[in-house]
Chain A
């Protein structure tokens, strides 16, 4: 059974700092990996989708990498802003879609 782990569970940084969120998964036989953002009381917004054949995807200040063989993905956020404060979830798709528990990010002004 696929298990997805996100570390750390919570992270607090000052504005302007670059940061990395980690996601690990136990079974490398995946179709893709997706990073989501969730604001309190809201649904999930897709940030980046990495296909299993890809190594990374970039969107603005966000860069996600995928190392399928080691079962790891990272989400890099450059020049963090208070508006980036949210919970970030990663999910891997094999036959189902399995989510990590998320990293709650707080960016302090």
Chain B
């Protein structure tokens, strides 16, 4: 199993540009989520999904959209990038949101100029 994979590893954007961060898992996990990690602040939940076709907002959803058309994929879209979205983004998955170990991808480092 590849586990949780994320692409790209690093991206530079200009303010106002859009992009999609890709996340895929091959463990047949129902629960997937996106976090951002900023220095000194730990990880904060952006959006999550409990299964295909179901998504919901986390702690910091503004400026981000998600969709879940398949169990395997959970892309994160930035519609109009802002410098405040400069961060490291992590995707995670688990079999169940409340009782199981979460597995994390390697992260995408995003710089918005």
Bound: A97/B99 CA distance, A: 11
> What is the size, in residues, of chain B's interface with A at 8 Å between Cβ atoms?
25
- The segment out of B13-21, B35-43, B66-74, B77-85 that lies at the interface is B35-43
Give A33 Cβ to nearest chain B Cβ, in Å.
12
A49 touches B90 (CB 8 A): no
Closest 4 CB pairs of A and B: A99-B42, A44-B104, A99-B43, A31-B98
Given A42-B107, A44-B90, A97 and B101 contact (CB-CB distance below 8 Å): no
Inter-chain CA distance A91–B98, complex, in Å, is 12
Is the pair A100, B42 in contact by a Cβ cutoff of 8 Å?
Answer: yes
CB distance from B104 to the nearest CB of A (A): 4
Q: A72 within 8 Å of B by Cβ?
A: no
